[in-house]
Structure formats: C-alpha cells, structure tokens
C-alpha cells in the first residue's frame, strides 16, 4: 500500500462509518409508522408524505449541487453534515412529545432537517470516496453502499428490541439515541484529512457531449432502481404486520432486518467478486419485478414474506451499480454528475413510497375493495396493501426497459 493511500485511510473509514450512522435517517421513520398512526391518528397517505418530504428534500439538495457545486466549501459542508442529522432527530422526537397537537408538524420539520443531511451524504460521500487514492475504487464504492445496508440491519434490530422491551410510547428516547452517532462522524471528519475533489462536471469534449443522452439514461436507471428498493424499504414493516398478519417484532426482525442483510450482502459480494455491472443490474431488475408480483399475488403469507425479503438481494446493486456504470462510461465525472445521479435516485425513492401509500388508502376506501375483500378472506386494508405491492412492480419493469436501451446506446457510442 502506497503512502498516499495510507494517508487517507482514516478518511475512508470515516466515510464508511458515516454511511453506516446515517442509515438511521432512512430506516428509523418507517419502523415508527404504525406507532404514529395508532398514537396520533396519522393516515397512511400522510405517513407516505413524510417519505416524500424526505426524498424531495434530498432531491432539492441534489439539484442545488448539480447546478451550483462550485460555490460550496465542500470540505466544510462534509464536516457539518452529520450535525444536521442529530438536530433533525432531536426535533423529530421533542416536538411531538411536548406539543402532541402539532405532532405531524414536528415530524415534517425534523424530517426536512435530517433529510438535508441525508442528501448531502449521498451527494458528497460517493465522490469523496472516489477521490481517495485506492487500488480498487469499484470495491470501495460497493463497500460504502453495503455499509448503509448493515446500518439498516442494526437500526431495525436495536429499535425493534427497544420498542418491545420499553413500549412504543417511549419511541422518542429511541430517536434521541440514534441522534448521538452522527456526532461521532462530525468529530472524525474534523480530524481526518480531505483529498482534493473534482468539482467540475468532467470532460466536456464533443464526444462526451454526444453522450449526454446516455448520461440521462443512467439517471433514469437509478430512478427506477431506487424506486424498486425504497418502496419495499419503507413499507415492508407495515406490510408484514397489516397485510400478512405477522407480529410487528417478528415482521421487523425477519422482514426488514433480513431485507437489509441481503441488501448489504449483495453489495459486499459485488465488492469482492463482482464484474459486468450491466448484467448485474439487469438481473436485479428482473428479480425485483418477480418479487413484487409474488408479494402482491401470493395468498401464502410465508411465500409473500420471502418475496419481500429477497427484494433486498435483487435491489442491492441497483443504486451503487448504476454509479459504477456511470463511472465506467464517464471517467472523472465530478461532484455535479454524482449530484445529478443522486437526484435521480432520490426522486425515485420519493415517488415510489408515496405512490404505494396513496394506492393503499385509495383501494382500502373503495367500494370494489369492500365487495372483493370478503371473497378473498382478507380485509380491505390488506387488499389495498397487496394492490400497492403490485403497483410498485412497474418500477423494476421499466428499469428493465431502460437497461436494454442503455446497452444499445453504449454499443452505438463505442462504434463512433
């Protein structure tokens, strides 16, 4: 290992830890959705809107950095980013506690604040890791995103056990507990050296300009991949409990945690053995599509649960894999390109959970569901959730189409 690589070892490890710690901003709120519904009477549509706010806030951050990255002090922004996560979680916990009549407003404000941090994390950590000298940059990128999944596993298991032992009425203490870990990231970044990062939008040659359409195809690919992943991530807990009739503790640990384990395992496996990222992406899209169909159509709860869990494996490389594909086709892309990709991913992650929640509410309250559900021996809410799962299958299906176009486009570009 060269001295240059050794100099940034702590920086790389800090990036890995931060991605691990920041996973709570994505995984904790969905674990509390049922609690919020029961405690504050918040509808599924409004709960889905919290997810929409989360990703839309990140999307705005992504777009700002896509257009104006050169105006930011990138190193300072990276260092203060974790503190915003802690502040957001603190607001998320304390406003509903002290002002229960404004509970939803507290959730919205807290979500906006920690979502700004989450957006900065996605926009800046990937190019930061890419800027650190490495013998295997593809491995580092895949490992970075795998740690997010392992963070989700940790958050799910610890949070589920906490709520089981201390009761859902103490959810705010759990939120404050997770607010501590990003502060450690802040300290580590302050004592770690930062490499110089490419702020430009990369090569602007005529050949690269002709491939602008191919770049946008990558954005669409990450959009559908993120949608396929996040629809399940945000609804697997509620789906296990309310649609499949599985106890919350069992559903969270066997469902959401195993989903995240497979999410991380797929990324770790690619970091060690992976190659031919286009084939990996296509395999993931097809597998995700099948899993959504089985989850929505199967009358067997165990089979439906297994389909939900396996979605974690199939979606594992859809986000980081598209970044790897982009890096292969567009060398030295710069922060702006990573921000544009993050924007596509966050837009997909915002649309899919919100759409699923809206479908659940609409179907559950419809007349045809009231007449059909008894014939299927399920409730209207269960029918709504199954319909939501089937609707979400459209995302990986469209992802397959985009990947086919990408393959054709890059083959044509290589011949010119």
Contact between 301 and 245 under an 8 Å Cβ cutoff? The reply is: yes
Residue 42 has pLDDT above 90, yes or no: no
Determine the pLDDT at residue 416: 53
Contact between 232 and 312 under an 8 Å Cβ cutoff? The reply is: yes
Residue 342 has pLDDT above 70, yes or no: yes
User: Would you place residue 205 in the very low, low, confident or very high pLDDT band (cuts 50, 70, 90)?
Assistant: very low
Determine the pLDDT at residue 15: 93
Both tokens of 365, joined, read 């309250």
CA angle 211, 217, 219 (to 5 degrees): 115
Both tokens of 177, joined, read 């507990």
User: Would you place residue 4 in the very low, low, confident or very high pLDDT band (cuts 50, 70, 90)?
Assistant: low
Determine the pLDDT at residue 29: 87
Q: Give dist(CA 219, CA 206) in Å, integer.
A: 20
How buried is residue 405: exposed, middle or buried, by Cβ count under 10 Å (0-12/13-18/19+)?
A: middle
Contact between 21 and 182 under an 8 Å Cβ cutoff? The reply is: yes
HEC string of 335-384 equals HHHHHHHHHHHHHHHHHHHHHHHHHHHHHHCCHHHHHHHHHHCCCHHHHH
The string of DSSP codes covering 7-43 is: HTHHHHHHHHHHHHHHTHHHHHHHHTHHHHHHHH---
Q: Give dist(CA 134, CA 104) in Å, integer.
A: 45
Residue 131 has pLDDT above 50, yes or no: yes
Query: Sign (positive/negative) of CA torsion 361, 364, 366, 369?
Result: positive
Element (H, E) at 146: helix 137-166
Residue 162 has pLDDT above 90, yes or no: yes
Contact between 313 and 287 under an 8 Å Cβ cutoff? The reply is: yes
How buried is residue 201: exposed, middle or buried, by Cβ count under 10 Å (0-12/13-18/19+)?
A: buried
| Structural domains in the chain plus CATH codes | 3-415 (1.20.1250.20)
């Amino acid at each position: 290992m060269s001295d240059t690589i050794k100099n940034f070892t702590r920086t790389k490890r800090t990036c890995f830890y931060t991605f691990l710690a920041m996973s709570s901003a994505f995984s904790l709120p969905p674990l509390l959705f049922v609690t919020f519904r029961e405690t504050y009477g918040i509808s599924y549509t409004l709960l889905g809107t919290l997810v929409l706010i989360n990703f839309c806030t990140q999307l705005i951050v992504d777009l700002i950095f896509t257009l104006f990255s050169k105006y930011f002090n990138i190193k300072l922004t990276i260092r203060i980013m974790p503190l915003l996560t802690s502040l957001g979680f603190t607001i998320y916990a304390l406003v509903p506690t002290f002002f229960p009549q404004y509970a939803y407003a507290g959730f919205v404000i807290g979500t906006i604040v920690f979502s700004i941090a989450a957006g900065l994390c996605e926009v800046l950590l990937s190019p930061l890791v890419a800027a650190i000298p490495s013998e295997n940059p593809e491995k580092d990128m895949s490992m970075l995103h795998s740690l997010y999944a392992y963070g989700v596993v940790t958050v799910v298991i610890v949070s589920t056990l906490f709520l089981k032992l201390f009761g859902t009425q103490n959810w705010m203490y759990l939120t404050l507990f997770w607010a501590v870990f990003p502060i450690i990231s802040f300290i580590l970044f302050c004592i770690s050296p930062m490499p110089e990062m490419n702020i430009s939008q990369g090569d602007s040659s005529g050949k690269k300009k002709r491939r602008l359409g191919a770049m946008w195809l990558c954005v669409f690919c990450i959009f559908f991949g993120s949608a396929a992943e996040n629809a399940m991530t945000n609804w697997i807990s509620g789906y296990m409990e309310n649609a499949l009739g599985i106890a919350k503790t069992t559903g969270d640990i066997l469902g959401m945690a195993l989903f995240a384990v497979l999410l991380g395992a797929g990324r770790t496996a690619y970091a060690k053995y992976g190659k031919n990222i286009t084939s990996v992406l296509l395999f993931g899209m097809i597998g995700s599509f099948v899993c959504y169909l089985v989850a929505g159509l199967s009358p067997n709860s165990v089979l439906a649960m297994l389909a939900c869990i396996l979605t974690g494996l199939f979606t594992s490389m859809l986000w980081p894999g598209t970044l790897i594909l982009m890096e292969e086709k567009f060398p030295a892309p710069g922060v702006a390109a990573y921000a544009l990709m993050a924007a596509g991913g966050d837009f997909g992650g915002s649309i899919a959970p919100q759409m699923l929640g809206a479908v659940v509410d609409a179907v559950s309250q419809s007349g045809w569901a009231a007449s059909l559900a008894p014939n299927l021996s399920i409730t209207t809410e269960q029918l709504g959730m199954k319909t939501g799962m089937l609707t979400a299958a459209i995302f990986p299906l469209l992802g397959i189409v985009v990947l086919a176009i990408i393959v054709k486009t890059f083959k044509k570009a290589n011949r010119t």
